[in-house]
Amino acid sequence: MTTLDDDYDLRTFAAALDPEASAEAPRADGDTAGWLAAESMGFHEASSDEAALGRAARRLDADGRRLTGVYRREAQPGSLDAEGRPVATFASFDKTLHVGGGRLVEADLVAGVTVQPTHRRKGILRRMMTDDLARAKAAGTPVAALTASEASIYRRFGFGVGVRERTIEVDVRRAGGLLSEPEGSTDLVTLASLADVAPEVFARFHVRNPGSIDRHEGAWDHALGRARADGTPDPGVRAAVHRDATGTVDGYVTYRVESAGGGPGAPGTQVLVVVDLVAATDDAYLGLWQLLLAVDLVQVVRYSNAPQHDPLSHALVDGRALTISHDEDHLWFRVLDPVAALQARPWAADGVVTIAIGDALGHASGTYRVTSEGGDATVKKAAVRRADLELDVATLGSLWLGGFDPVTLAAAGLVRERRKGAVQKLRAMLLPDRPLHGITYF
């Protein structure tokens, strides 16, 4: 019986540029170019020319991404495999994750996962994922995270949904403005001037919002409208900032206006599409929305990264002007070290609870006693006959930062209460200092 290693060669390498190319015209090295071409095909993107591959490689290199390619040992003549492309791709890199109270931990971010349809059901995805999780665990990384294109794939590897997102649309004519006047002021600015202050504003947002992941190079290109697929800036993107009473920029928004619907002789609806909205204060968030709702000739404002607990619906004169057009999972967490992960976050209430964690991969298996006091927790493996609560590691990922209510997950059959009142106790202990909100995709 043949094995995966008999038929395929798995190689992990750093994303890299061709050292002989110039900085003005970067070129991907051979392995990176083949990996990028395979990843693009896996996500049904158009084939990229050498210049586009070079730009993509520069972004991956800047992030320090680890690329894994799976290569067929005996490629058929004329196949993509024979051109040196991998039949499967996988990437990971390290960024900080805010776990609450301004505390940041390193997270192993998983991205670029594809397997060609002709090479499925061979254990390729499982091998790539388990290898990376084992590497991250050995490196002392307490948690892995990903954003998923499909929701049914990753729970088997211990990932649970930790943060959700939603797309909102606001009918400008119906909204009627805001019920209160936010402090500070707003200004339209150039994208060039915004680029100077945007990272600092995001850094403040990042340490304010649990569930936020630090940004990578590609995220900035999109947020600031500086690189479309062809590498040129997007001329339709506009920018504005919010300043506090001292004149310090504490929020910004980039957006474009698009026409929707209509037809010959009939005007379409002008939709203001928010590209990026980053607010380090509540006044900045409301102030930027006040500006967006005042843009002339716009009937609808659409924002695809709205928080689940959005204050805007309460701030509008007519809250019914805000509708939710989409709601889905955003960030998935995979706890690798329960002791480190649980001790890293702040705790809202004092208490003691024992939790039995099941983990098919073994990284988080065991029973743990969590003792929280004064905002911190001590977590130790415990030898008890029966834990207060039983759950699997994917459910732990959903509960970890307080993004989901343990009472709700118990009702779903994902948390088993073995000591009466333990679910309510855990609920009080896990309450986050702010609702979870992340706006970084990877």
Model confidence over 67-89: pLDDT tens digits?
999 999 988 888 888 788 999 99
CATH of domain 165-327: 3.40.630.30
Q: What is the CA radius of gyration of the chain?
A: 24
- The CATH superfamily holding the domain 338-430 is SCP2 sterol-binding domain (3.30.1050.10)
Alpha helices in 249-337 (DSSP H): 282-292, 312-315
**Which residue type, as a one-letter code, is found at position 228?**
R
What does 54-98 look like in DSSP terms, one character per residue?
Answer: HHHHHHHHHHT-EEEEEEESSPPTTSTGGGT--SEEEEEEEEEEE
CATH of domain 4-146: 3.40.630.30
Q: What are phi and psi of 151, to 5 degrees?
A: -90, -5
Top-confidence residue, 167 or 227: 167
On the CB side of 42, how many CA atoms lie within 13 Å of its CA?
24
Residue 266 has pLDDT above 70, yes or no: no
Query: Is 27 strand, coil or helix?
Result: coil
How much is the average pLDDT of 406-430?
Answer: 98
Are residues 123 and 70 in contact, defined by beta-carbon separation less than 8 angstroms? no
Residue 28 has pLDDT above 60, yes or no: yes
Which element (helix H / strand E) includes 381?
Answer: strand 376-381
Are residues 216 and 94 in contact, defined by beta-carbon separation less than 8 angstroms? no
Q: Is 5 exposed, middle or buried (0-12, 13-18, 19+ CB in 10 A)?
A: exposed
Q: What is the mean pLDDT of the chain?
A: 95
Alpha helices in 334-377 (DSSP H): 338-344
State percent of the chain over pLDDT 70.
Answer: 98
Give the per-residue pLDDT at 1.
Answer: 53
Cα distance between residue 298 and residue 114, in whole Å: 39
Model confidence over 100-140: pLDDT tens digits?
999 999 999 999 999 999 999 999 999 999 999 999 999 99
Domains of the chain, residue spans: 4-146, 165-327, 338-430
Give the per-residue pLDDT at 228.
Answer: 81
Are residues 36 and 53 in contact, defined by beta-carbon separation less than 8 angstroms? yes
Tell me how far apart the 2 most distant CA atoms of the chain are, in Å. 75
Are residues 67 and 35 in contact, defined by beta-carbon separation less than 8 angstroms? yes
pTM above 0.75, yes or no: yes
Give the per-residue pLDDT at 76.
Answer: 84
Cα distance between residue 390 and residue 386, in whole Å: 9
Range with the lowest mean pLDDT among 224-233, 278-287, 311-320, 385-394? 224-233
Cα distance between residue 406 and residue 428, in whole Å: 10
Q: Is 4-146's fold the same as 165-327's?
A: yes
Are residues 295 and 270 in contact, defined by beta-carbon separation less than 8 angstroms? no
State percent of the chain over pLDDT 90.
Answer: 90
Structure tokens at 208: 């304010």
Give the per-residue pLDDT at 296.
Answer: 96
Give the per-residue pLDDT at 263.
Answer: 54
